[in-house]
A and B are shown apart, each in its own frame.
Chain A
Amino acid sequence: MPSRAEVRSRVELACRGAALLALGALVWRAWHPPLSPALVLRVPRTADLPTALSAALFSTPTGVEATLDSVPGAAVRAWLFALSRSGSVVSWRAAATLGASSATVEPLPEPSGRVRLTIVGAPGTSASVHDAAGIVDSAKLGTTGVRVLDATLNGTVRVNLSGAAVTTAPRDSLRLRSVLVLARAGWEGKFAVAALEESGWRVDARLTVAPNAVVEQGTLLGLDTARYSAAVALDETAAALAPALIRFARSGGGVIIAPAAARIPALATLLPARLGDTLPAVLGALASESPRRGLPAVALRPTSRDAVVLERRSGAAVTVASRVALGRVLLVGFEDTWRWRMEGSDASPAEHRAWWSGLVSSVAYAPSGRRAVVPNVDEAPYAALVAAVGTAAASAFASPPPLQREWWDRILFALLLAGLLAEWSSRRLRGAK
């Protein structure tokens, strides 16, 4: 009959044997990986993708099934793209919150250096805009799903839309030329030139005082797009340059024509609309929220389908624009706009400036040039995701199979540990070393 000590000793031996066996099995399994394990990465959230993909670094999964609650970043998308190209089947499903989103920045043709940021996303999505100078805007997208900001932005712009982080930056810069103003000396010419100059435009002017007396600013060597971005004709004094204005517009320049100049017969071919009836000024409106109602105006009748009516008053068009060959023409029906600046509200000088600058900006010829350094941006992450790995899967994924390999590995490791611990404990308890 073996003694208690002997039994104990044998038990210890057994434990050690079991541990050694477990170790051997683990080594053998590590040395001989399964030939083709069906490894499918199932990722429940976008945030888990980097971790899951990192785990698959040393063994390419056969498939990746991801449920995305937000659009993954460019690096993760590139990873998925690489996996898909290397044979893995990458499929994804959109969570309820995922939606298309994009943001672009383009420079505005105006001296202030402002840019236009266009954000597109799902209606009702919260969007916050940041740039190098901090937060710029924070609001919810309206029913159109579009938000357009004209602002001065520094560096790369980051737009956080629910479920997406979009980055964009201007890639182009615009080259603005001067603006030529043709008018007789008078309040309208004076204050139109003042508004443009105060807004930062370089202005050349021809202000006619007498038949041989013209107050000039700048040297008019030729009205062409190499020198001018736009020309403004305020009255009949532009008649002498009517042919040049037409050539200028057709070659890409922008021309703004006021009602008095629109009566020049030679300019008729350039006009996007005909002059109609006079619209009297609304008394007291200059200081209101719609100050241009307080200006006398001429109703305009668009003459072509391409003409775009930009502003109406009492149903009649008062500002009409159209493209003419390579250029743009804008016919303004307002007269004596200088009254807006002088007689309007406290904000009217700034509004008058902004209006005139905006008119010129909307027609200005401004060739663009690529910036030397183009930052790395991610302007349409959802579209990039689709481009990388295809559209979202319509149906839900199947339930995942058990991870058999991992389960055995864990059992063997637990057995190894238990065996070693049991032997050691027993030896210690009986006083042996």
Chain B
Amino acid sequence: MNEFVFATAQYESGDWDSAPLLPVNLIDSIARYTQLPVSPTGAIVPLGSSDAMRYPLLYLTGHLPVRFTSQERATLTRYLDRGGMLFVDDHNHDVDGMFHKTVTDELEQVAGKLSKVPTAHELYSAFFTFDDGPPNTSHELNGWGDNLIHPYLMAATRGTRISVLYSNKDYSSEWNFHPDNKRFYSVDNTRFGVNIVVYALTR
């Protein structure tokens, strides 16, 4: 069955599972807003394993420094070359932090230079429309991290397609809650996650 499985990348060097509820939250959102077949639970896949190829969208986050092993680097390179997409979010939301510095360095080695995603990019209207670009999170100004609003996301591309989407906005904190609690939100803050998944599935 060609169902979508939300996969979290497990890498060796850091706290890859710092946002354990994000996957199910986004799975819930996908089911709420689309009729796409989706697995009710996510999957965790080691980044250095060839199993990563079975999940053309991978989510990666953490707080600690990220140092890919050579196996992880090779797998990720192959993964991106074949059409996979990696969504990385800095759980520290700190551009001066070690996660940001180390993971951007690793990603640029594997995927090439990270450039700003313009506000008019089709990512922001892949399903819902975000006229102002990436929606802000309630964590960006919580006093921790760099305490900045990060107005744009970064991406590496393969041709015209985003292969790596990088976020400093701490969506990992923003979406890391039980999906049942969505009812308390007047506006569902996980909608942008739906955009990311729909973009990955259609572009």
Contacts and interface: CB of A to CB of B under 8 A. Distances in A.
B33 interface: yes
Contact of B202 (A190, A260, A338, A341): A190
Interface stretch (B39-47, B49-57, B107-115, B136-144): B49-57
Interface of B: 2-4, 33-37, 50, 53-54, 56, 79, 81-84, 126-127, 198, 200-203
A209 B83 contact: no
Contacts of B79: 342
A349 B198 CA distance: 22
Interface string A194-222: 10000000000001111101010000000
Given A187-B2, A188-B2, A209-B127, A343 B83 contact: no
Contacts of A177: none
A343 B34 CA distance: 27
Interface in A325-374: 335-336, 338-339, 341-343, 348-349
B84 A342 contact: yes
A191 B201 CA distance: 9
Contacts of B34: 185, 209-210, 213
A77 interface: no
A186 B1 CA distance: 11
Contacts of A194: 83
Interface in A224-258: 235
Contacts of B36: 184-186, 209
Nearest to B52: A342
Contacts of B33: 210
Contacts of B83: 190-191, 194, 341-342, 349
Contact of A208 (B2, B35, B50, B127): B35
A338 B53 CA distance: 10
A336 B2 contact: yes
Contact of A209 (B35, B56, B84): B35
Contacts of A188: 2
Closest 6 CB pairs of A and B: A185-B201, A342-B53, A343-B53, A215-B202, A210-B34, A185-B202
Contacts of A338: 56
Most buried by A among B2, B53, B201: B2
B159 to A, nearest CB: 9
Contacts of A349: 81-83
Contact of B56 (A184, A187, A335, A348): A187
B201 A335 contact: no
Contact of A342 (B3, B56, B200): B56
A386 to B, nearest CB: 55
B201 A339 contact: no
A189 interface: yes
Contacts of A348: 82
B189 to A, nearest CB: 19
Contacts of B2: 186-188, 235, 260, 335-336
20 contacts: A184-B36, A184-B37, A185-B202, A186-B37, A187-B4, A188-B2, A190-B202, A190-B203, A194-B83, A207-B201, A211-B35, A215-B126, A336-B2, A339-B53, A342-B56, A342-B82, A343-B50, A343-B53, A349-B81, A349-B82
A335 B3 CA distance: 12
B145 to A, nearest CB: 33
A357 to B, nearest CB: 16
Given A186-B2, A211-B35, A215-B126, 16 more contacts: A185-B34, A185-B201, A185-B202, A186-B36, A187-B201, A190-B203, A191-B56, A191-B83, A209-B36, A209-B127, A209-B198, A210-B34, A235-B2, A260-B2, A338-B56, A339-B54
B188 to A, nearest CB: 15
A355 to B, nearest CB: 15
Nearest to B85: A190
Contacts of B203: 190
A195 to B, nearest CB: 10
Contacts of A187: 2, 4, 56, 201
